[in-house]
Amino acid sequence: MTTDVINDQSEHDPHDGEHHDHKMTGMKRWLYTTNHKDIGSMYLWFSFIMFLTGGMMALVIRAELFQPGLQILEPDFFNQMTTVHGLIMVFGAIMPAFTGLANWMLPMMVGAPDMALPRLNNWSFWILPFAFAILLSSFFMESGAPNFGWTFYAPLSTTYSNGSTAFFVFAVHIMGISSIMGAINIVVTIMNMRAPGMTYMKMPLFVWTFFITAYLLIAVMPVLAGVVTMVLTDTYFGTSFFDAAGGGDPVMFQHIFWFFGHPEVYIMILPAFGIVSTTIPAFSRKPLFGYSSMVYATASIAFLSFIVWAHHMFTTGMPLFGELFFMYCTMLIAVPTGVKVFNWAATMWRGSLSFETPMLFSIAFVILFTIGGFSGLMLAMTPVDFQYHDTYFVVAHFHYVLVTGSLFSIFAGAYYWLPKWTGHMYNDTLSKWHFWCSLISVNLLFFPMHFLGLAGMPRRIPDYALQFADFNKWVSIGGFAFGISQLIFLALVIKCIRGGEKAPMKPWDGAEGLEWTVPSPAPYHTFTTPPKID
């Protein structure tokens, strides 16, 4: 994809200066903004704050699990920690980080002046901090925070739940509204705001993955809203959706929840595919291998995500045909995913590689995400899953795909675009420290969990048998090291915003895309007049 327009509106477009370029100052700018870059920054900062908050909870969990026996926590508080850690990381850290990247980059990548519905965009963001304020406020209630796991299985969340369930339910409702509105904005921006000449198959793969992810969000977030509503009425209004005594079924909860929950898993990984499909070609100085197969693979994964949900429930009990169907469909996902991994490897093959920090995170992503994918394939096999279900093997699996997968891709994206966002190059030494510390500690943190799980250590229990002590010690050390490593990133970002070497318009010589045709930092308004794509 090429462009014949070097876009610099601030000088060429008098209309622009007249109407738009009066940023408000102080707090009002951020409260009232309709600018996709402002909103993107707010999403990213919010997500990072939530990441540290959820991370602190993970460290509390790891501190308790450092030794066998109950050291520092009551079991109920341990359950609250695992529950809120999961909710925060899923809905507060990973998803908003992707939405932030989408906000910043999508309009620039498709050559649009802003997101399609800018005011709605601001609303989507600002309801999120309120949602998490409600969720976190439950820690200060008499009953304490939700303690039923982030999957809030009935009857734990209905019959046996504590007094804060209503607050949990309404907080999730707001998160859902935020996601749906944000996704609608993404879909409409991509469908309606592309620069003339940018056909669907000319869009950067980053745009494609967010496009497909947004469809998944619009389809499944309302189902989540439905299921939390049923939890609410079961808990407070005497309905019996999940109570056999009234003709319902607790298993029905799991079916509805995972109908949301499994596409949700892909909502958190498809954008990651988009990011590394941007960075790997840039630092291999080759176009992405198999662009169209990447598009079709992403769409296939999205489609399959709707018909595999019950692989989370093999041990819950369902007819044999169901178990076979969900097992085979799940294993089928390995095919399009394999296409992707192959394409990334083929992109690097005989490329002239260089190993800047975004590339390091991307390569780590490909390898470590693949490990998470393989353990997923193991879990997909029904009889094998009977053994692994609810053990630390599952914890290891989804942390490999979510931490070394999604989170590492977010880091790759952040390093890749930081020069564009701030106008400064980040400190290279610090970034290398961040990468290597994260890489080593994250594997120390999550790899031994595989062994723990295979040996039978159950998840979500604050105590464990003596034979698991050694591995758990190392896992906890890895956890604290990983947590501290993230402070390097915080310091680096602040340093980068405040100063540093001036970034050129295109700091990476292999980078492609419209975002590199505007100055660094990107002007407040870009592409008021759309560029022409050949």
- Tell me the CA distances in angstroms from 133 to 80, 171, 268, 281, 427, one per residue in order: 16, 8, 22, 40, 34
- 225 lines the binding site for other proteins (CB under 8 A): yes
- 466 lines the binding site for other proteins (CB under 8 A): no
**Residue 262 beta carbon to other proteins: minimum distance, rounded to whole angstroms:** 15
Residue 323 falls in the annotated catalytic set: no
Rg, Å, the chain Cα set:
23
Q: Which of left, alpha, beta for 26 (phi over 0: left; psi -120 to 50: alpha)?
A: left
- Tell me the CA distances in angstroms from 383 to 83, 315, 320, 453, one per residue in order: 28, 9, 11, 16
x/- map, 252-281, other proteins, by CB under 8 A: x--xx--x----------------------
| Cα 445 from Cα 473, distance rounded (Å) | 10
| Cα 279 from Cα 511, distance rounded (Å) | 8
Residues 149-208 that bind other proteins (CB under 8 A): 163-167, 169-171, 173-174, 177, 180, 183-185, 187-188, 191-193, 195-196
CB atoms < 10 A from the CB of 32, how many?
Answer: 12
Residue 438 falls in the annotated catalytic set: no
**Residue 56 beta carbon to other proteins: minimum distance, rounded to whole angstroms:** 24
Which residues are CB-neighbours of 400 under 8 A, at least 6 positions away?
368, 369, 371, 372, 375, 446
Range in contact with other proteins (rule: CB under 8 A) among 16-24, 68-76, 82-90, 440-448: 16-24
Do 179 and 227 meet the contact criterion of CB atoms below 8 Å apart?
no
Tell me the site size for other proteins, rule CB under 8 A.
83
- Identify the residue among 90, 95, 116, 407 touching other proteins (CB under 8 A): 116
Exactly one of 64, 264, 356, 515 is catalytic; name it: 264
Q: Please identify, using beta-carbon distances, which residue of 165 and 298 lies nearer to other proteins.
A: 165
CB atoms < 10 A from the CB of 350, how many?
Answer: 9
> Closest by alpha carbon to 86, among 23, 198, 172, 6?
172
- 24 lines the binding site for other proteins (CB under 8 A): yes
Range in contact with other proteins (rule: CB under 8 A) among 46-54, 331-339, 351-359, 522-530: 522-530
| Cα 511 from Cα 488, distance rounded (Å) | 26
DSSP 8-state assignment for residue 163: T
- Count how many Cα atoms sit within 13 Å of the Cα of residue 3 in the half-sphere of its side chain: 23
**Residue 438 beta carbon to other proteins: minimum distance, rounded to whole angstroms:** 34
- 147 lines the binding site for other proteins (CB under 8 A): no
Residue 150 falls in the annotated catalytic set: yes
- 237 lines the binding site for other proteins (CB under 8 A): yes
Residues 56-115 that bind other proteins (CB under 8 A): 112-114
| Cα 130 from Cα 125, distance rounded (Å) | 10
- 229 lines the binding site for other proteins (CB under 8 A): yes
> Closest by alpha carbon to 486, among 25, 44, 43, 52?
52
DSSP 304-325: HGGG-GGGG-TTT---HHHHHH
- Identify the residue among 11, 26, 199, 247 touching other proteins (CB under 8 A): 247
Tokens representing 531 are 């560029």
- Identify the residue among 45, 66, 77, 123 touching other proteins (CB under 8 A): 123
Exactly one of 164, 178, 357, 441 is catalytic; name it: 178
Which residue stretches of 193-249 are H helix?
205-236
- 306 lines the binding site for other proteins (CB under 8 A): no
Q: Please identify, using beta-carbon distances, which residue of 112 and 445 lies nearer to other proteins.
A: 112
Q: Please identify, using beta-carbon distances, which residue of 128 and 449 lies nearer to other proteins.
A: 128
- 230 lines the binding site for other proteins (CB under 8 A): yes
**Residue 80 beta carbon to other proteins: minimum distance, rounded to whole angstroms:** 17
**Residue 263 beta carbon to other proteins: minimum distance, rounded to whole angstroms:** 11
At 282, the amino acid letter reads A
**Residue 173 beta carbon to other proteins: minimum distance, rounded to whole angstroms:** 7
Exactly one of 36, 173, 194, 312 is catalytic; name it: 312
**Residue 125 beta carbon to other proteins: minimum distance, rounded to whole angstroms:** 8
DSSP 8-state assignment for residue 90: I
- 32 lines the binding site for other proteins (CB under 8 A): yes
Q: Please identify, using beta-carbon distances, which residue of 107 and 376 lies nearer to other proteins.
A: 107
- Identify the residue among 17, 70, 72, 130 touching other proteins (CB under 8 A): 130
**Residue 35 beta carbon to other proteins: minimum distance, rounded to whole angstroms:** 8
Range in contact with other proteins (rule: CB under 8 A) among 4-12, 416-424, 509-517, 525-533: 525-533
What burial class does residue 95 get, using C-beta atoms within 10 Å of its C-beta: 0-12 exposed, 13-18 middle, 19+ buried? buried
Active site residues: 85, 114, 150, 178-179, 262, 264, 266, 277, 311-312, 337, 340, 459
